[in-house]
Copies of this chain bind each other. A is one copy, B any other.
Amino acid sequence: MATTTRSAERARLTYFPQLAAERLDIALCRASAAVARAADTHAAEEGLGVGQHLVLQMLDAVGPCSQQTLSEELRIDRSVMVSVCDDLERAGHVRRERNPRDRRSYAVTITDTGRRRLVEAQTSVPAFLDDAFHALTPEERGQLSTLLGKLLGVGA
């Protein structure tokens, strides 16, 4: 009975159950943090940051964009978008040309290299998602997606 306090505490608790029961907000944050971490390590292995991936994906889908548009659509801060584009440009995945119509903005364009890189990375995403959400069945993932959609205000 030498070790009193700590082991007594520990015995009574397993991650303070009240939290999981009541505070949905905190559960949400924890889950988000977990998958975000997984996404980051996945991205690191892939050699392409999450933001970079999204930018490439969007450029490939909708064509050249200003950094502003990329920012707004992808919900990435303008300041951050600068360095994301810096990295992509340095890697040759993207070209930055001044938009001739409005020389304040860039026309960020995906290169062929970038497109190839995107295809590469793209294929591994479903596998990553499968891994990150392996605790949920496909139906449950659908549920979750719907719920999060409502929470984020689908149309807003």
Q: Which chain A residues have a beta carbon within 8 Å of chain B's beta carbons?
A: 4-6, 9-10, 12-16, 18-20, 22-36, 38-39, 50, 54, 57-58, 61-62, 64-66, 68-69, 73-75, 99, 101-102, 105, 107, 125, 129, 132-133, 135-136, 140-141, 143-145, 147-155
17 A–B contacts from the bound complex (CB under 8 Å): A6-B66, A9-B65, A15-B73, A18-B58, A20-B152, A22-B125, A24-B145, A25-B132, A26-B50, A27-B152, A28-B28, A29-B35, A30-B148, A135-B150, A143-B143, A143-B147, A144-B147
Q: Which residues of B contact A31 (CB under 8 A)?
A: 28, 32, 148, 151-152
Q: Which residues of B contact A27 (CB under 8 A)?
A: 145, 148-149, 152
Q: Which residues of B contact A68 (CB under 8 A)?
A: 6
Contacting pair B74 A16 (CB below 8 A): yes
Q: What is the distance, in angstroms, from A74's C-beta to the closest C-beta of chain B?
A: 6
Q: Which residues of B contact A66 (CB under 8 A)?
A: 5-6, 9
Given pairs A5-B105, A15-B75, A26-B54, 10 additional interface contacts (CB within 8 A): A5-B102, A6-B102, A16-B62, A20-B152, A24-B145, A27-B145, A28-B35, A29-B32, A140-B147, A144-B144
